[in-house]
Amino acid sequence: MSSTTAPEVEPIRVLSSEERLAAAQKIIKRNAYISAGVGAVPVMPPLVDLAAIGGVQVLMIKQLSDLYGVKFKDNVARNLVSALVGTLSSRVLAAGVVGSMFKVLPGFGAVVGGLLAFPAISGAVTYALGKVFVKHFEEGGTLLDLNVEKMREFFASQYQLGRKVVAEPAPAAA
């Protein structure tokens, strides 16, 4: 009879608070740049880009949930994204929809919608969403107890910061 030994398993390394926040920031920035990139695609049909960006945002929340050990539910995440985005001013929301629609116009319309307005808005919204979820998860929250109304001002401030972040060139390994 031969004895077999079980393969050695590396213990799970617990991240420090600083490491976790740094990892969260990388997730947020990467997804904000992806959202801005999706918003810049000039050939995507109107409003399809909004759905694609929503998918990126939900994926980011999944990644952050995994990082924080928070149970993820796709439908809850989608509802929270809609609720948070809905807290933005009607001017910002209208600019996003108009930017999406402009992309179908040949020439100047594609440039305005696809390269100027819409990518900045979509990247900034994604950035702000990520920051809201990190703040909430850092405070011990879950997807089921996020209070959208309490996060409204924080979301708006992070949206403004996100506009500055996505205006910077994306790092090669973001």
Which residue is associated with the tokens 């108009």? Answer: 98
Q: What is the pLDDT of residue 33?
A: 93
* Residue 85: per-residue pLDDT: 83
Residues of the chain with pLDDT under 50: 93-98, 101-102, 105, 107-115, 174
| pLDDT on residue 94 | 47
The pLDDT score that the predictor gives to residue 42 is: 64
Please tell me the predicted confidence (pLDDT) of residue 114.
Answer: 45
- Give me the pLDDT at residue 155, please: 93
Q: Which amino acid is at 82?
A: S
Q: Which two tokens stand for residue 132?
A: 């809201």
Residue-level pLDDT at 75: 95
Distance (Å, whole) CA 121 – CA 95: 8
pLDDT in the model for residue 8: 75
